[in-house]
Structure 1
Amino acid sequence: MRFEGIYTPIITPFASNGEIDWDVYAEVIDWQIENGVAGVIVGGSTGEFYALSKEERIQQFKFAAERINNRVEFMAGVNDIRVDECLDISMAAVDAGAKSLLVAAPPYSLPSEEELAHHVITIAKATELPIMLYNYPGRTGVEMGEDFLSIVAKNTLVAAIKESSGDYSRLPLLSNNYPSIELVVGGEEQVLEFAAWGAKSWVCATANFFPSECVQLMDILGKQSDFEKGRALMSVFMPLMKTLEQGGKFLQCVKLGCEQQGRPGGKVRLPLLPIDDALKKDMISVIDNTRASLHSILN
């Protein structure tokens, strides 16, 4: 097994002038490690990679690798709308010291399954790093379907798939038909269902503000297979995860969640705008309730 536990796609904190706040970024990384995550993902969509310049993304890789210092796994999100930029960023991740890559389809171009497979294998050959696929057709416009999977499964570097399609029928398909590609939780609301189909790891945005609790949940489900306690915890988490996934302001809510836990969050970059007062009020209430209920179960 290549991946096990929580892999947090960390936020990018911005200073008041809109630049990356590197001192706070160090705090973000350290807090994740202190709370027992298995890996830190730099350059994910939760980190607003699409709003960063190429230079900022590469600087993040270098900074994060030095700060992580092999305490946990450093995974790099290397996606870009342009394939040449994606390859440049992938090689920069290798140079910085990344141990694995998170790879999605290039958005907007709508490659065929064969074309997408060629893209992934090209990255694998160039970097020689393990790859976690990221299937999110809602953002990329294409699905990593069976033709694609049949091609990339032959490459031993294609190690896992973060499944974020929301299609539950994909879980038995992936688990039964592509055993060489590990199933990774890719939806905040679906941890229980993924674990039932054998997932041992979770790319978890919620861990930005509840890291220890998410680590414990994945341990209970993935290692202990204690689905009774897992259901109890998921019942507590569900109102929060519903707000995150269905509130329409995912990143704003994640950063607000950090602030409500006494952690740095800050603003988001354009084109996203600040959270509205009604959703902010709902989010604060659900975080408070979640925190109290989790404490009663886990402590």
Structure 2
Amino acid sequence: MGSAPQITGVYTAIVTPFTKDGQIDWGAYDKLLQLQAQAEVDGVVVTGTTGESPTLSVDEKVSLYRRARAFLPSSVKVMAGTGGNDTKQSVELSRLAQDAGVDSLLIVTPPYNKPTREGLYAHYEAIGKSVRIPLCLYHVPSRTGQKLSPEDLAFLCSLPQVTAVKEASADLCLFSKAVSLTRGQADYLSGDDFTFLPTLAVGGQGVISVVTNIFPRAFVQLTRAWRRGDTAAALAIHQAMFPLIECLFLESNPGPAKYILASQSLIQDSLRLPLVSVQPGTAKRLNECHETTKQKLQALGALA
């Protein structure tokens, strides 16, 4: 990894709040950023999957980057989701994100066109050479339709620009082997909230999380407990959070997360098509699970 800044700890894949007419709600965005700063997360990911990146224009994305970097303290890093299945467009957006002041870039393995390993290498190399900030490779087979092997990931991490991997296959065997094969060339972060604690046990260095939109402090506390060797405390927080994590994926992300944030009057329950608000049955389960989780975390002292 050389002298490149490390990408470790708790990063929140922040939602993009919209008004009822589908415009970005900047006041709500500031509230969400403030919540993350107060919780002392290590970073936020702007315009990732949870941020509904496919429905955002380039101008909107750049504005979100600039706002986040200007609003947040320097202790909270800003990672911009700038990957896609067109290398030229990814390069252009990555440069704009760098100019907007972000600290790193989240680059998904190109969806739909399924490049070979050599094509992936050339894709990441082109983006990396176009900027001066580190890249986090995003491996999410359920969305891209392409599952890489640990050997593939280690090959891509040989690029000096790739200093971290968001590994979201939910495959602990793959994660563990990839960490071993990469041999310190990149830090691995869990891309699935429910595998965060297990991945720490096999060499993971953090998480890019959805649930921390709602309870950011809890995962910060879990991380600190793990680092000081208090595995019992870390496990208790994991177990308290797990039912809510499951509920957040009853329907397509970020619908459930946005519903809960709206119920707290932080944002409006508004998504851009083709995503829609959660169904009534899901809403009922989310309400119940959110309240139960809040009570458990309060008992554990994981909200303060």
TM-score (norm 2): 0.92
Matches within 5 A, 1:82-231: 82-179=86-183, 180-221=185-226, 223-231=227-235
Q: Which moved more, 1:140-149 or 1:284-293?
A: 140-149
Q: Which moved more, 1:205-214 or 1:53-62?
A: 53-62
Q: Distance in 1 between matches of 2:197 and 2:69?
A: 32
Matched, 1:15 2:19: yes
Match of 2:28 among 10, 21, 24: 24
- Cα pair 2:37 2:73 within 8 Å, conserved: no
Matched, 1:55 2:25: no
Gaps of at least 5 residues in structure 1 are none
Q: How many residues align?
A: 297
SS for the counterpart of 1:123 is: helix
Q: What do residues 27-65 of structure 1 show as CA deviations (whole Å, max 9, x unaligned)? A: 211221111111111111111011111221122122222
Q: Distance in 1 between matches of 2:191 and 2:222?
A: 15
Matched, 1:72 2:76: yes
SS for the counterpart of 1:132 is: strand
Q: Distance in 2 between matches of 1:67 and 1:152?
A: 33
Aligned to 1:39: 43
Q: What do residues 119-178 of structure 1 show as CA deviations (whole Å, max 9, x unaligned)? A: 111111111211111100111111233453343222222111111011121122122111
Task: State the 1:289 CA deviation.
Answer: 0.2
Runs of 4+ in 1 over 4 A off after TM superposition: none
Task: State the 1:69 CA deviation.
Answer: 5.1
Compared CA separation, residues 82 and 183, structure 1 to 2 (3 A): same
Gaps of at least 5 residues in structure 2 are none
Compared CA separation, residues 268 and 64, structure 1 to 2 (3 A): same
Which amino acid in 1 is paired with 2:299?
Answer: S
Task: State the 1:265 CA deviation.
Answer: 4.6
Aligned to 2:242: 238
- Cα pair 2:28 2:266 within 8 Å, conserved: no
- Cα pair 1:113 1:147 within 8 Å, conserved: no
Aligned to 1:275: 278
Q: Distance in 2 between matches of 1:298 and 1:214?
A: 12
SS for the counterpart of 2:19 is: coil
Aligned to 1:297: 300
